[in-house]
Structure 1
Amino acid sequence: MSPTPRFGIMTAPSQVSYDDILRVWREADTVPEIEHAWLFDHLMPIFGDPDGPIFEGWTLLAALAAQTSRLRLGLLVTSNRFRPPAMLAKIATTVDVVSGGRLDFGIGVGSRPSHPLARREYAAHGLPFQETADAVASFAEACTVIRRLWTEDAPFDFDGVHHRLTGAFGNPKPVQRPHPPIVVGGRAAATLRVVAEHADVWNIPGGDIEDVISRSALLDRYCGEIGRDPASITRSIHLPVSYDDPGATRDAIREALDAGFGHFVLSVASPYPDGVAKWVADELIRPVTA
């Protein structure tokens, strides 16, 4: 069991108004038990009305960074398929600066292509769709490019298979040094190899705790193969919140704590009850950490 579990909330920026999300984040910013807050990265709804409203994640994150003062914040997780890595590095640096160094940089291979409402995002926005093997290789290169842009003091060229840059350079640098924590989301074996090489935090959706445990063990193995201490990667889990049955959510948190997870993203659904952040602290966090 982790001695210092850290809890945060997720508000999906879909089928909801900016004012509602802002209300929840401002409240969460005043609740000490809630240490971090997250959005997701989709361009079209993946639940509810397929033609309903949805906000672009990084733009909204910058706005929320300017409206909060304490919460760490990020996207769970950025789709590497949506933005070239050098552009993404610049966007993320901007958010880290706006927030005063509170960004947790969430990134993954890309939005679930098997989900029919996610797959349509690409054609609708004129974005190319890479099949899985190429997408994972592109993701690994992107992690390398982004880290170099954040840390290197002179322009560089990068001649990868999927990304090629000439005279790449990042200025300003992020506030956080050497760079914002890199949070990689995913469960596939190929993604876990990238986690082992690049991530400070690994996030996986909850639901089947035995699968979560087996994926964590696989990550340990991949770390061992490259000589990295598995304990250097924080284990994070994304869990849905039940307003009607908080006991079930508390049980899921306790299971994950017992499995060695110390970073929790609790997804709150809209419409958000009044005082939802305080409710999360009172009904979910305090009972499992007392």
Structure 2
Amino acid sequence: MPDFSTDIPVRLGVQLAPQHHASYAVIRDAVARLEDMGVDVLFDWDHFYPLSGDPDGTHFEGWSLLAAWAEQTERVEFGALVNCNSYRNADLQADMARTIDHISKKGGETGRFIFGTGSGWFERDYDEYGYEFGTAGSRLDALAAGLARIEARWPRLNPAPTRDIPILIGGKGEQKTLRLVARHADYWHSFVSPEELPHKLDVIARHAEKEQRDTADLVISNELKSRTEGDADALFDAGVRLFTLGVSGPDIDFGAVQRWLAWRDAKNG
């Protein structure tokens, strides 16, 4: 297998699907409880409508929540899984990320924001909010252009970000998405199976060679929902070190989070 970042602790991220079908109070209380439980990373998503249940149910905007989490939390890292590049000017995204990064510093040496991003896919978001949906290819091309602008904007901001803000890119397309991973990402997130991972990692490594990028620091991320401990063990053996768990609300199964925290701790020995 190509050289990727496996000599690091296993971490658990929780994506708060209560962003839909729940009050803000439920979201705020869940964030506090999950940080107290020892979760490593908290994620929301960047959609304008629920993705399951009542399509017109309650829902809150993702970047506004991230700014609130930056102020509310003290230790946990956080970000979107994932931001939609299509919805905001790229330089504005850079400025928003930098601002949230500073809000989250909270007395530490650096901020805790992870810039998770992708090209977008949920057509209703585009149609209802007046964005051009385009094609999967055109959205990926826009993401490529946007990431270059974002990385160029960060050092020009005053003040600059507190750290090199880590970039997480989601997706598995081999021609465009994984090339962007090789070029820009600190984290690669997907839902691919343990059997698929070696091939996908080889594709990233081949892209990285062309990009003259060392992938030794790339952290592999994958989803736990609906998977067994045996599945997670296989993902670990394939190189995954950030495991994410989507939880639904408003009645969150904190017991499931606790079980996966125990699995994480056992892996870290």
| TM-score (norm. length: structure 1) | 0.82
Q: Deviations over 1:181-235 (max 9, x none)?
A: 01111111111111111111111124x3222332222111111222222222111
Matched, 1:54 2:59: yes
Equivalence for 1:121: 125
Matched, 1:145 2:132: no
CA contact (8 A) 2:11 2:264 kept: no
**Residues 250 and 49 of structure 1, relative CA distance in 2, 3 Å threshold:** same
Map of 2:215 onto structure 1:
230
For 2:186 and 2:97, how far apart are their aligned partners in 1?
Answer: 16
State the match for 2:115 in structure 1.
Answer: 105
Query: 1:184 matched to which residue of 2?
Result: 169
The answer on 1:29 being equivalent to 2:14 is: no
Q: Which of 242, 261, 278 in structure 1 is aligned with 2:240? A: 261
Judge conservation of contact 1:10–1:37 (CA < 8 Å) in 2. Answer: yes
Counterpart among 242, 252, 258 of residue 272 in structure 1: 252
1:135 corresponding residue in structure 2 = 139
Give the % identical residues: 32
Higher relative contact order (CA 8 A, sep 6+): 2
Following the alignment from structure 2 to structure 1, what is the Cα–Cα distance between the partners of residues 135 and 151? 24
Q: 1:220 to 1:42 in 2, by over 3 A?
A: same
Contact 1:81 1:109 in 2 (8 A): yes
State the TM-score, normalized to the length of structure 2.
0.88
Tell me if the contact between 2:10 and 2:264 (Cα under 8 Å) persists in the aligned partners.
no
Q: What SS does structure 2 have at the residue aligned with 1:235?
A: strand
Q: Secondary structure at the match of 1:81?
A: helix
Residue 204 in 1 paired to residue 190 in 2? yes
Which amino acid is the alignment partner of residue 107 of structure 1?
Answer: T
Match of residue 24 from structure 2: 18
* 3-state DSSP of counterpart to 2:64: helix
RMSD between superposed Cα atoms in Å: 1.9
Could you tell me how far apart the structure 1 residues matched to 2:158 and 2:44 are?
26
